[in-house]
Amino acid sequence: MAKYLLLKHYRGAPAAANDVPMDRWTPEEIDAHVAYMQDFATRLGESGEYVDGQALAPEGAWVRSDGEGRPPVTDGPFAETKDLIAGWMIIDVDSWDRAVELAGELSAAPGAGGKPIHEWLEVRPFLGAAPVCH
């Protein structure tokens, strides 16, 4: 088993096929989308593959140390032209192929007009612990 991170982006990913912002869908289309996502997480819980899922606020800042004795430097809000993560799901699955399959399912969540969004999701393997025998 290996863990993978499925990353959703507010911006920075290549454009989705069905790219309309959610506040321009109908309320019923929003409900269908939310139900699809909840359903997906529930099925993954039942299959024993779900680890975590979080949504991120669009605000925040870049932070770095400014040296000893000085407060950290912050740089925000985030530039409109830059990549921005919207949230993630962590899955624990048997293979890369399974991770890709699940990302594909998540990507097909319905959007405007009830049609699948076909959003690009980033899939990243976790670096795990070293095996005992090595």
List residues near another protein by CB under 8 A.
21-27, 29-31, 34-35, 38, 55, 57-59
The residue count for the chain: 134
Min. distance of Cβ 115 from another protein in angstroms?
A: 16
Min. distance of Cβ 81 from another protein in angstroms?
A: 17
Separation CA 60–CA 132 (nearest Å): 40
Separation CA 63–CA 73 (nearest Å): 6
What DSSP string describes 91-112?
EEES-HHHHHHHHHHHHT-B-G
Contacts of 25 (CB under 8 A, 6+ apart): 33, 111, 112
Please report how the helices 96-107 and 27-46 are oriented relative to each other, as an axis angle in degrees rounded to 10. Answer: 160
Which of residues 12 and 98 has its CB atom nearest to another protein in the complex? 12
Min. distance of Cβ 101 from another protein in angstroms?
A: 25
Min. distance of Cβ 67 from another protein in angstroms?
A: 27
